[in-house]
Amino acid sequence: ADWFREALKDRGIRACIPGRKQRKKPVKYDKRRYKRRNRIEIMFGRLKDWRRVATRYDRCPKVFLSAIALAATVMFWL
């Protein structure tokens, strides 16, 4: 929505959200930046599949980071 894009612009954030096809006036966006953003979102979605990481069983930050590293390593190799 235009109001959301304006709110981001007021905060100094460049929106990398593509507009809908039905939009009368096309919105410019950086396709490369959007693709990289989407990869990050997919990665977080995959991390949430790991129950230990999603529910944060480990309260110690070092152990939690280790669990994230292990999950990321396994996801990379699969």
CB under 8 Å to 39, separation ≥6 — which residues?
none
pTM here?
A: 0.54
pLDDT in tens, the chain (78 residues): 889 888 988 999 888 888 888 888 888 888 888 888 888 888 888 888 888 777 877 788 888 888 888 888 888 887
- 59 is in which domain, residue-wise? 2-77
Give the N- to C-terminal CA distance of the chain in Å, as an integer: 38
User: How many domains does the chain divide into?
Assistant: 1
